[in-house]
Structure 1
């Protein structure tokens, strides 16, 4: 399932509470990290949590810890890739193309955005 979404893709959250109710549905952001084993992605600016870290000291004597705000993983089925032309969520397809490099022909699978409908 994680093969459709890669690091750096622009995605949109398609499920959950609306932004009017304090949720993240409809927000768009870049994928920071893909957690393949858990089928989750971390999206920039989406699904913020507050994390309390224990106060400690570094080698130089500076204090660490406190309350941090960071992005939490979101399930991969709750996001959709955004079509670069229409800026709407879309599905992803694969097609094979012939690539010639240094006289060597090679068949490669290439991702492409399918036609995005009204809404997804």
Structure 2
């Protein structure tokens, strides 16, 4: 089971501080997990600009220009945010038993190490 998934709230823990134009300390939602689970795209973090060549479609509309979007960052540079304290925390796992339709099965649940709450 992955420690960070799509839709989780994470905080950037490395890089330049925000006063120096960096992203350290920013929190955002994980938009995508890419590259086999090694990189994540976080909302509002690691913006890059891409210059696209100006072209023309069949209808005559112009395409291209400067686009700004979030680039992926390595998963080791972000930490999951504890839902109770709103601060970065490590992730642990707890195995618990769940009963569904009369069938019992063991399920791994992600747990915040600081507060002990389920994520």
Shift of 1:26: 0.2
Shift of 1:36: 4.0
Q: Distance in 1 between matches of 2:61 and 2:91?
A: 47
2:19 corresponds to: 20
Give unmatched runs, 5+ long, in structure 1: none
1:8 aligns to 2:7 (yes or no)? yes
Q: Distance in 1 between matches of 2:35 and 2:98?
A: 28
Aligned length: 115
| SS across alignment from 1:8 | coil
Shift of 1:58: 3.4
Give unmatched runs, 5+ long, in structure 2: none
Q: Distance in 2 between matches of 1:13 and 1:101?
A: 37
Label 1:48 to 1:114 Cα distance change in 2 as closer, same or farther (>3 A).
same
Normalised by the size of structure 1, how large is the TM-score? 0.89
**Cα deviation code 1:49-85 (max 9, x no counterpart):** 0011122233443222110010011111000000010
Shift of 1:35: 1.2
| SS across alignment from 2:84 | coil
Q: Distance in 1 between matches of 2:41 and 2:113?
A: 23
The aligned runs of 1:33-112 (5 Å cut-off) are: 33-37=32-36, 39-112=38-111
